[in-house]
Amino acid sequence: MGLTVQGRRATITLDRPDKLNAQTPATWAALREIGHFLDPRVRVVVVRGTGRAFSAGLDRRLFGVEDVDGAPGLVALGQRPTEEADAEIASFQQGFSWLREPDRVTIAAVQGHAIGAGFQLALACDLRVLTEDAKLRMAETGLGLVPDLGGTLPLVRAVGYARAVEICTTGRDVPAEEALRIGLANQVVAADDLDSAADQLAEAVSAPPEGAVRETLALLAQADEAVDPEQQLAAERAAQLRRIAELAELLGQG
């Protein structure tokens, strides 16, 4: 797992290209640590993978009986007391959940396959840029599992319940063109243009004042839930008043 920070931008890179960036508990622990210690001045985070795939999902070693890099595989996890196993999975989820916090805009730059945990990592980001050859797949159900890294909520929000059911239960590939059409992708570009497209998007979303972006992200996340319209209007008023107060303070200092 690589992390580079340049000014207001951070780039997280999955760097196991020989394994198609397959994920292990060590991956999720590294993501969790990045989220916990990331410089608060960072305004935008780009998540990308090296090689020909964004992430092929779970490392297949997790389906065996042995621990993987000191962490329990699925069999060992299933043999633990329920509360202990629940806490372990909750720690895995924390590696993804911080990407949806309103403190920053997050962008997944996806090439090749994003399968299972890879798809869920892309879904954890606010925005997704895909290459023309990219394919998304929620493979967990076909393996007898469920998506448990936070992917179910953003999937339903993006495509609706019925389509999410179909995508999860069939485990089929969702190609880039379809992903763009149904709301899973914001942009589809040629493979050679992925980095520049992510760069341009990162620059665009980091241009407005920090406080305005943070408040807007929080409002949009809340609006995506089943909230009362009057509550949403009140939340908009409160956020705007905070922004006006901050701007007035800055003008007064000038």
pLDDT in tens, 57-105: 999 998 887 888 888 888 888 888 898 889 999 999 999 999 999 999 9
pLDDT of residue 75: 83
pLDDT of residue 73: 84
Q: What is the mean pLDDT of the chain?
A: 92
Q: Average pLDDT for residues 156-161, to the nearest whole number?
A: 92
CATH class of residue range 210-253: mainly alpha
Contact criterion met (CB below 8 Å) for 59 and 24: yes
Compute CA distances 97 → 38, 67, 115, 143, whole Å.
14, 25, 18, 23
Answer yes or no: is pLDDT of 27 > 80. yes
Residue range 212-221: mean pLDDT, rounded: 93
CATH class of 2-205: alpha beta
Q: What is the DSSP string of the chain?
A: -EEEEETTEEEEEE--GGGTT-B-HHHHHHHHHHHHH--TT--EEEEEESTT-SB-SB-GGGGSSS-BTTB--HHHHHTS-HHHHHHHHHHHHHHHHGGGSTTSEEEEEE-SEEETHHHHHHHHSSEEEEETT-EEE--TGGGT----SS-HHHHHHHH-HHHHHHHHHH---EEHHHHHHHTS-SEEE-GGGHHHHHHHHHHHHTSS-HHHHHHHHHHHHHHTS---HHHHHHHHHHHHHHHHHHHHHHHHH-
**Domain residue extents for the chain:** 2-205, 210-253
Q: What is the mean pLDDT of residues 13-34?
A: 97
User: pLDDT category, 224, cuts 50, 70, 90?
Assistant: low
What is the amino acid identity at position 254?
Answer: G
Q: Mean pLDDT across the stretch 137-142?
A: 94
Confidence of residue 226 (pLDDT cuts 50, 70, 90): low
Q: What is the mean pLDDT of residues 124-131?
A: 98
Per-residue confidence band for 230, with pLDDT thresholds at 50, 70 and 90: confident
What's the whole-model pTM score? Answer: 0.91
Average pLDDT score over residue span 7-15:
97
